Amino acid sequence: MPDVIASAPGRINLVGEHAGYNQSFVLPVAIDRRTYTAVGRRGGELFIAFSKELGKKTSFEILPGRFEHSNFWVNYVKGACTLLNKDKTIEGTNFAVGSTVPRGSGLSSSAAYVVSIIEAVAHLYGVDLDEMDVPILAQRIENEFIGVQTGIMDPFVAKFAREGSALLIDTRSLEYQHIPMPEGCSILVCVTGVKRALATTEYNRRQQQCQEAVAELCRILDRNLTSLRDVTAEEIKEVDGEMDQTLYMRALHVVTENDRVVKTGAALMNGDKEFVGNLMLESHASLRRNYQVSGPELDAFVEIAEPLEGVYGARMTGAGFGGSAICLVESGNENELATRIAREYKQRGFEDGYVFVARTGCGSRIEKS
Ligand code: ADP
Ligand code: MG
């Protein structure tokens, strides 16, 4: 029997894509797919880890924390134990991981995984953590130990989400607010089945372009800007033609997306599902045209879903180039809609996709101690 079991959810992002690293607002929702990490004390130096999904078991010593290329998934465990071992309290540990979050599908299985590891290890060894330390440590693990420049949003929602609500996060101040999802709507997750081959390179390139856009805008607006968050939707539209066209399109997406998040938050509070759906469609169009991070599979899902009766809106979620799309639909016949969208997607020649109905989930918790 394990000593401690902790769990954390996967997520979709309602709107606010590629906004987190521009210090903008984001609006994710945790889903009822979770990752569970069970840990037990072994004593000594040896760590043994098992992943049910990967069907892999491996052993290692945390120190020195060598990067493991052949057991990539173990680096998250190593990262967590290294950062949590400030007071040298952590000893050899057994780990077992099980998950219902699809991996590499834009639903943030990595944040669910790493947050559940942090919670389990901290609880087992009595590591003193503030709530806010959890997403910050999780982000550091992905940045420093995995080498992916992810933002704070994914671990943040994995930690703080509340069932039945979306989480409006200001990624600049880290203030957040739970906004109840309106009655009578459901979320469909449309998994493209496409591995996001270009995702890392293009993700890094977009980050770079946003920085370049900030530099150009400082010059044009003759103002000191720290990020695209400091530019309004009116201002950006006025500088069309005055800056490099690609940088303009990237900035246009980020600035208008920030606006859409704020509007979506207000629409959710008013229970205005039609307006939320429209903003999702606008977000997708902007990601496709201006930010250029969509792809044929994501576009197909949105095109198929948009005209259907009972669909409020649809868009890609996550970094793009594959991964998943989401639809906000009227509750009642969400299962039929899911089946229909999946069928039409296959008919367009995309073999590996599937669609499931996602309920909202809660943030990380200790399941057993
Ligand atoms: P996403 O977060 O969008 O699902 P990532 O590429 O960021 O995609 O994260 C997927 C990686 O996270 C996997 O390659 C694996 O290393 C790790 N991971 C996630 N879930 C598990 C699991 N249940 N067992 C082992 N490793 C996992
Ligand atoms: Mg991830």
Give 243-270 pLDDT, tens digit per residue. Answer: 999 999 999 999 999 999 999 999 999 9
Residue 51 Cβ < 6 Å to ligand 1: yes
Decide: 35 in ligand 1 pocket, CB within 6 A.
Answer: yes
Beta strand 93-99 with 56-61: parallel, antiparallel or unpaired? unpaired
15 three-state secondary structure? strand
Tell me which residue has its CA closest to atom 6 in ligand 1.
104
Q: 287 phi and psi, to 5 degrees?
A: -65, -35
Find out whether the beta carbon of 73 lies less than 6 Å from any atom of ligand 1: yes
Ligand 2 mean position to 13 CA, how many Å?
Answer: 13
Q: Using DSSP, state whether 243 is helix, strand or coil.
A: coil
Give the whole-number percent of the chain exceeding pLDDT 90.
89
Quick check: helix, strand or coil at residue 92? Answer: coil
Q: How far apart are CA 118 and CA 124, in angstroms?
A: 10
Task: List pLDDT tens digits, range 109-146.
Answer: 999 999 999 999 999 999 999 999 999 999 999 999 99
What's residue 65's pLDDT? 67
Q: Nearest ligand, CA of residue 37?
A: 1
Ligand 1, from 36, 68, 103, 200: best to mutate by most atoms within 8 Å of Cβ? 103
Half-sphere exposure of residue 44: CA atoms within 13 angstroms, side-chain side: 8
pLDDT of residue 69: 86
User: How many CB atoms are located within 10 Å of the residue 236 CB?
Assistant: 22
Instruction: Answer whether 84's CB lies under 8 Å from 125's CB.
Output: yes
* Minimal-distance CA residue to ligand 1 atom 9: 110
Strands 93-99 and 46-51: parallel
Ligand that lies nearest to the alpha carbon of residue 38, given by its number in the listed order: 1
- Whether 176 and 170 have beta carbons less than 8 Å apart is answered as yes
pLDDT in tens, 318-358: 989 999 999 999 999 999 999 999 999 999 999 899 999 99
Question: What per-residue confidence (pLDDT) applies to 61?
Answer: 85
Residue whose C-alpha is closest to residue 344's, from 302, 287, 281: 302
Ligand nearest to the CA of 76: 1
Do the Cβ atoms of 271 and 234 come closer than 8 Å?
Answer: no
Name the β-bridge partners of 354. Answer: 191
The amino acid occupying position 142 is E
Q: Which residue(s) pair with 191 in the sheet?
A: 324, 354
The string of pLDDT tens digits covering residues 195-249 is 766 677 888 899 999 999 999 999 999 999 999 999 999 999 999 999 999 999 9
Catalytically annotated residue among 154, 170, 230, 240: 154
Establish whether 352 is a catalytic residue: no
Give the model's pLDDT for residue 148. Answer: 83
Q: Do 312 and 274 touch, CB atoms closer than 8 A? A: yes
User: Which DSSP helix (H) or strand (E) runs through 366?
Assistant: strand 365-368
Indicate the top mutation candidate among 109, 114, 201 to test ligand 1's pocket, ranked by most ligand atoms within 8 A of CB: 109
> Average pLDDT for residues 144-155, to the nearest whole number?
89
Which two three-digit tokens encode residue 313?
A: 């809106």
Residues whose CB falls within 8 Å of the CB of residue 225, separated by 6 or more in sequence, listed in order: 214, 217, 218, 231
Distance 292 CA to ligand 2 centre (A): 20
108 lines ligand 1 (CB under 6 A): yes
Are residues 2 and 94 in contact, defined by beta-carbon separation less than 8 angstroms? yes
Computed on alpha carbons and rounded to an integer, the radius of gyration of the chain in Å comes to: 21
How sure is the predictor about 105, in pLDDT bands with cuts at 50, 70 and 90? very high
Residue 63 scores a pLDDT above 70:
no
Rounded to the nearest angstrom, the distance between the alpha carbon of 334 and the centre of ligand 2 is: 27
Q: What is the pLDDT of residue 70?
A: 85
Residues with CB under 5 A from ligand 2 (ion): 110
By DSSP bridging, strand 185-191 and strand 176-180 are unpaired
Q: Which two tokens stand for residue 250?
A: 């990237």
Is any atom of ligand 1 closer than 6 Å to the C-beta of 109?
yes
